[in-house]
Amino acid sequence: MFKILEKTQYSENVYKFRVHAPQMAKHAHAGQFLMVRANETGERVPFTFADWNAEEGWIEFIFMVIGKTTTDLSQLNAGDEIADVVGPLGKPTEMDNGSWCVIGGGVGLAIAYPVARALCAQGAKVRVIMGARTKDLLLLEDQFRELPLENLYITTDDGSYGEKGVVTQPLERLCIDHEIEHVFAVGPVPMMKFSALTCAKYDMPIIASLNPIMVDGTGMCGCCRVEVDGKTKFACVDGPDFDATKVNWADLSARQASYRAEEATAMEHRRETCACQS
Ligand SMILES: Cc1cc2nc3c(=O)[nH]c(=O)nc-3n(C[C@H](O)[C@H](O)[C@H](O)COP(=O)(O)OP(=O)(O)OC[C@H]3O[C@@H](n4cnc5c(N)ncnc54)[C@H](O)[C@@H]3O)c2cc1C
Ligand code: FES
């Protein structure tokens, strides 16, 4: 069992947990993830390390409530215990020094933040593009603003905050102005796909952190398989970062949607059986 040391609520649906996990804290790197099982009967779901402290023996992850497991987790509090936390898993993000554009869309901002922070810490020049459907879904703006960034760009689909439109607009300007040398993108599949297409136009290298459904997180089940450059890869052990210009996005999209009916049923069942469900 893993004790929750702190719970922070960022917005209606977004939380950060600090969890006692001394061994994991010693080995975590930016871009890696952990598998969490909220309770004895729960499924395992992946979250990216948001922060960790080897001396104090804790790790942190940030999550958005979107279904059953994240709802279960959101109802735990500091002092409660999580049944399982396993990690670090996956390969760390490869980070050259130089000039980077880090793009996060929606809940992907929780994954983009530790990457941007690690790049800043190693002395890279970092520009961040934050994208969301609407202002209320924009995560971690204050935390990004505390980083020593070259610039921060915000886009919202509905124009409720920042530039009206999508992340590829500032990305394309940065490519045209030769202000960046590398791009890291994480978020919804269409956002990563169109960021890859934009970068391909300008021969700009782009890494995407892929988010297929994962079950074991250790390369055993095959659930997280993705097609990259015509070859099958397992995102949990070969990734989650891949060359975004070589990813088969249609395949990833289809695989992500494989369990929509079961996910809806699980939420419905939870509503009917759990008195604590808000
Ligand atoms: C490597 C990786 C890192 C991630 N990091 C974060 C993070 O830092 N913060 C965050 O909020 N989210 C992160 N996610 C997504 C997170 O795992 C899903 O939001 C979570 O699993 C949803 O579970 P649920 O039961 O609440 O929702 P469900 O209703 O079960 O599912 C909603 C959607 O979440 C995704 N999902 C569901 N189960 C899984 C699973 N086992 N593995 C992967 N995706 C799943 C699917 O797209 C699904 O349609 C990450 C995903 C991956 C693959
Ligand atoms: S999650 Fe099972 S092989 Fe990757």
Position 254 scores a pLDDT of 86
Position 272 scores a pLDDT of 73
Contact at 8 Å (CB) between 4 and 17? yes
* Ligand closest in space to the Cα of 232: 2
Contact at 8 Å (CB) between 143 and 225? no
Ligand 2 contact via 222 beta carbon (within 6 Å): yes
* Ligand closest in space to the Cα of 223: 2
Which pLDDT band, with edges at 50, 70 and 90, does 276 fall under? Answer: low
Q: Do domains 2-89 and 99-209 have the same CATH topology?
A: no
Cα-only R_g, the chain: 18
Atom of ligand 1 nearest to the CA of 72: 26
* Ligand closest in space to the Cα of 224: 2
Q: pLDDT at residue 4 above 50? A: yes
Convert the pLDDT of each residue in 122-169 to its tens digit: 999 999 999 999 998 888 899 999 999 999 999 999 999 999 999 999
264 Cβ neighbours under 8 A, 6+ residues apart: none
Which pLDDT band, with edges at 50, 70 and 90, does 244 fall under? Answer: very high
Q: Which residues line ligand 1 (CB under 6 A)?
A: 33, 45-48, 61-64, 66-70, 107, 110-111, 211-214, 240, 256, 263
Atom of ligand 2 nearest to the CA of 224: 4
CA-proximal residue: ligand 1, atom 39 (nearest): 213
Position 174 scores a pLDDT of 96
For ligand 1, mutation pick of 34, 35, 45 (most atoms within 8 Å of CB): 45
**Residue 199 DSSP SS3:** helix
**Is the domain covering 99-209 a CATH 3.40.50.80 domain?**
yes
Ligand 2 contact via 234 beta carbon (within 6 Å): yes
Confidence (pTM): 0.90
CA-proximal residue: ligand 1, atom 7 (nearest): 47
Which residue in 94, 11, 8 sits closest to 51, CA to CA?
A: 8
What is the full DSSP assignment across 9-23?
EEETTEEEEEEE-HH
Ligand 2 contact via 66 beta carbon (within 6 Å): no
Convert the pLDDT of each residue in 27-62 to its tens digit: 999 889 999 999 888 899 999 998 899 999 999 999
Give the domain ranges of the chain: 2-89, 99-209
Tokens at 54, concatenated: 């080897």
Q: How far is the CA of 17 from the centre of ligand 1 (A)?
A: 16
Among all chains, which residue has been given the structure tokens 């069992």? 1
Q: pLDDT at residue 261 above 70? A: no
What's the mean per-residue pLDDT of the chain?
91
Q: How far is the CA of 212 from the centre of ligand 2 (A)?
A: 9
Q: How far is the CA of 105 from the centre of ligand 2 (A)?
A: 24
- Average pLDDT in the 173-195 region? 95
Q: Which numeric CATH code is attached to 2-89?
A: 2.40.30.10
Position 264 scores a pLDDT of 67
Tokens at 91, concatenated: 């390969």
Position 258 scores a pLDDT of 67
Q: How far is the CA of 127 from the centre of ligand 2 (A)?
A: 32
Which pLDDT band, with edges at 50, 70 and 90, does 278 fall under? Answer: very low
Q: How far is the CA of 216 from the centre of ligand 2 (A)?
A: 5
Convert the pLDDT of each residue in 61-117 to its tens digit: 999 898 889 999 999 999 999 999 999 999 998 888 899 999 999 889 988 998 999
Convert the pLDDT of each residue in 200-217 to its tens digit: 999 999 999 999 999 999
Ligand 2 contact via 221 beta carbon (within 6 Å): yes
